[in-house]
Chains A and B, each alone.
Chain A
């Protein structure tokens, strides 16, 4: 048959993308570390494989996570992905079952109607034809939503959407053309032959009534094949590459591979698995409060993928982790940004292979021989203690927290040593957030030395920034506790006697304590013990960043003030008596941004302590008498 040439754009595209995917996956697999290779191999023959299949079904086909966040957006994704999947599956079955022979090439299933124009006149075949038509309607409904979303993002509950590159646009156009051209191609063919289901049959009959359907049909079959072929050929260089890569990502993640702190094949897989959906832009406070719309994770990942100069984007992030929480693909956006910060600057244009090699060598050189050093730090004398209290640099800027913690620990009879009372060494996390791990390690070693020598069982810190780094990057015997956990423990033990304050308060989850370390319940338990805790919008894992983040060294103070005012406004909407937080940085930032009283959790608890019995001097007792007489 002469006109069968039309199947070749599709065939070529399909074979190209299949071979490309296999080669690419092999390269990625080969460049994995030995440990990760083993993980993946083990995962492939065990439970993780089943988990991955389940996840692929739930997320890549049904898009459950997007569904939860936004049902309309979820339906759009589901109809396109799951609908197309069903169309392929049932199309293959149809070709296998009703076709001339078994085990057909894919093109026979895809262009089934062309090869079997008379098919489906009666019986089971007719019912099957209706079913295939239904699947097509399912997909087309999602496509309609996609077109609407592209032009009016607000209608789909999306505040912002990402900008497309020109290759993305061509791929998008070909994707949009696939299903309408299939509909029309099948319609015309069915019209000529008087076959087809409820959609293609009726449409075909209608079209044939006034058009020379037999002449037109081949053009639409060509268009159908061309759009499929174009889409497949462009796939690797567009955002739609996320569709096959997400499958690899799911297998890797379920096998236990993580981003860790170095660039790896897994990082690369993650950058290609990003669909540029823009959900990260919608939740970003720099977008919603400060009007910055070009540095969110979607753009960061896109820059990584295309090896562009993204130094400004990399640096301009609060590292609050809200986008990590909502990413439907589950990309570890914060850790990826940290890796990029460690790398230093990238050149503006794409690097040649040889230059890339040179850059890697230079980075290794810098890592071996750091230019800066904290060699002037002298090891401190050892001093024994059961409980060590480490206030941290930020808490030293909020002395009321230190005063409160001293009162609380004294009242509970805790024998503690104040590790950095006379000033200490930074915990190292600000340096890590700036991508300076080597320097951070020197500080970590210095502090670890003091903590180990003290023989302390517990290390209490009142700063979530220190808390996170103590837990994750220090090797310690002592149990690390945030002061909210420690106060909660003191209350549960019964060593702290507290009164009840008749105050309505709200609690703000600091990024590094909540999302960063998973401590949500202990601060709430402590607050509820001494006051009336009111709910706030966007609590717990979706908590807002105060705007004072140490993770961003480029954001101007005006923009920070806007973010702080927006966050404080959201938190104090119920007009509480006080805004309670558990981080000195959040406290300082919010104090400038709201008229509501801002206190640390320790300050709130200190107020609830029983009044100390004072040794009364004669003068003050005379005062008391006079006051009573006046009253």
Chain B
């Protein structure tokens, strides 16, 4: 008798979930991909171009769409996995619509949420005009129009690093890793789009961890004249000309600094996603002090949950760039397949 086809549920249809679904399907495993949004794609759907090479995000989106266009993959959208439990060797997932899905294993790929910039009230997001987030700026790049609320072209833009990352005040001590290089990439794009516009980045440290990131950082200074000031912005206000006034301590020069800006971009960090946190709570998956899912082993088991048949892929475990997310996701598939074979 032919062995029954194995079935795996993938919770989350972002980069990690799509890659995992594609890899599993290729191996002849039936996959149910559960996505909370209208379409799979996750945060990548909003992105215009990717660091370090500034290639269009559409190229990676196209790759991932092709990856999940497979007869073994069933995509369920506008749905989340609310709870996972074991029933013998079977895994039962309760979905948000009230339905249930049974499978042999489950991969959690619930990803991250962008930090809500309203929570850092001193920067005035939602209070002042012309305070935007890095995600809002990416939308502007998509429309090829970087302008102020009144439609005028900004002559000075400031990027504020570490908004909601490495900040005890908002209970986030972790580094979101990708915002530094995102700011460098976005600063270059602004300079290319608006050659007359001055660009300042206010940073704590520049963490250029990936290949070609340091080169990009250097290029931004040498070729594109992006200015970097080490210091955390303490507060922002608006002056009579409706320009933003920021207060910052220039820690290299050792003096306080006040600067007027036309547009302020908040480099919002990554937090554990809300559906992911809910799933962890209902299903007894352990989370770390950074609130991301805690893997069974930090070094050689970062895809394992500690619960048989449940595996982790991508940024539900920690902030990651796309390259690392895809690698992590493939490793999750390898762990899953090994588990299915051992049953």
Residues of A within 8 A of B (CB): 396-400, 402-403, 421, 423, 557-558, 561, 587-588, 591-592
Q: Are A397's CB and B168's CB within 8 A? A: no
Q: Are A557's CB and B121's CB within 8 A? A: no
Q: Are A397's CB and B122's CB within 8 A? A: yes
Chain B neighbourhood of A423, CB < 8 A: 247, 258
- Report the Cα distance A109→B40, complex, angstroms: 92
How many whole Å from B237's CB to the nearest CB in chain A?
6
Q: Are A400's CB and B121's CB within 8 A? A: yes
- Report the Cα distance A605→B119, complex, angstroms: 21
Chain A neighbourhood of B168, CB < 8 A: 557
Cβ contact of B171, chosen from A399, A421, A592, cutoff 8 A: A592
Cβ contact of B119, chosen from A558, A561, A591, cutoff 8 A: A591
Residues of B within 8 A of A (CB): 119, 121-122, 124, 127-128, 168-171, 234-237, 247, 258
Chain A neighbourhood of B247, CB < 8 A: 423
| SS class, residues of chain A in contact with chain B | helix
Q: Are B119's CB and A399's CB within 8 A? A: no
Given contacts A397-B122, A398-B121, contact A561 B236 (CB under 8 A): no
Q: Are B169's CB and A399's CB within 8 A? A: no
Chain B neighbourhood of A398, CB < 8 A: 121-122
Cβ contact of A557, chosen from B128, B171, B234, B236, cutoff 8 A: B171
- Report the Cα distance A400→B247, complex, angstroms: 17
- Report the Cα distance A399→B237, complex, angstroms: 7
Q: Are B170's CB and A399's CB within 8 A? A: no
Q: Are A561's CB and B237's CB within 8 A? A: no
Chain B residue nearest to A588 in the complex (CB): B121
Q: Are B122's CB and A396's CB within 8 A? A: yes
Chain A neighbourhood of B169, CB < 8 A: 557, 588, 592
Q: List 7 A-B contacts (CB under 8 A).
A: A396-B235, A399-B124, A421-B237, A557-B169, A558-B171, A561-B171, A591-B121
- Report the Cα distance A588→B119, complex, angstroms: 8
Cβ contact of A397, chosen from B171, B235, B258, cutoff 8 A: B235
Chain B neighbourhood of A402, CB < 8 A: 237
- Report the Cα distance A421→B235, complex, angstroms: 12
Chain B neighbourhood of A397, CB < 8 A: 121-122, 234-235
Cβ contact of A399, chosen from B234, B236, B258, cutoff 8 A: B236
How many whole Å from B127's CB to the nearest CB in chain A?
5
Chain B neighbourhood of A399, CB < 8 A: 121-122, 124, 127-128, 235-237
11 other A-B residue contacts (CB within 8 Å) besides A396-B235, A397-B235, A587-B121: A397-B234, A399-B122, A399-B236, A399-B237, A421-B237, A557-B168, A588-B169, A591-B121, A592-B119, A592-B170, A592-B171
- Report the Cα distance A558→B119, complex, angstroms: 17
- Report the Cα distance A396→B238, complex, angstroms: 11
- Report the Cα distance A423→B249, complex, angstroms: 14
Chain A neighbourhood of B235, CB < 8 A: 396-397, 399
Q: Are A400's CB and B127's CB within 8 A? A: yes
Chain B neighbourhood of A587, CB < 8 A: 121
Chain A neighbourhood of B258, CB < 8 A: 423
How many whole Å from B242's CB to the nearest CB in chain A?
13
Chain A residue nearest to B128 in the complex (CB): A399
- Report the Cα distance A588→B122, complex, angstroms: 9
A-B residue pairs, 8 tightest by C-beta = A397-B122, A557-B168, A399-B124, A400-B127, A396-B235, A398-B121, A399-B127, A397-B235
- Report the Cα distance A465→B124, complex, angstroms: 22
- Report the Cα distance A400→B236, complex, angstroms: 11
Chain A residue nearest to B124 in the complex (CB): A399
Chain B neighbourhood of A557, CB < 8 A: 168-169, 171
Chain A neighbourhood of B128, CB < 8 A: 399
Chain A neighbourhood of B171, CB < 8 A: 557-558, 561, 592
Chain A residue nearest to B173 in the complex (CB): A557
Chain A residue nearest to B167 in the complex (CB): A557
How many whole Å from A597's CB to the nearest CB in chain B?
10
Chain B neighbourhood of A396, CB < 8 A: 122, 235, 237
How many whole Å from A594's CB to the nearest CB in chain B?
12
Chain A residue nearest to B245 in the complex (CB): A422
Chain A neighbourhood of B234, CB < 8 A: 397
- Report the Cα distance A611→B191, complex, angstroms: 40
- Report the Cα distance A403→B168, complex, angstroms: 26
Chain B residue nearest to A404 in the complex (CB): B127
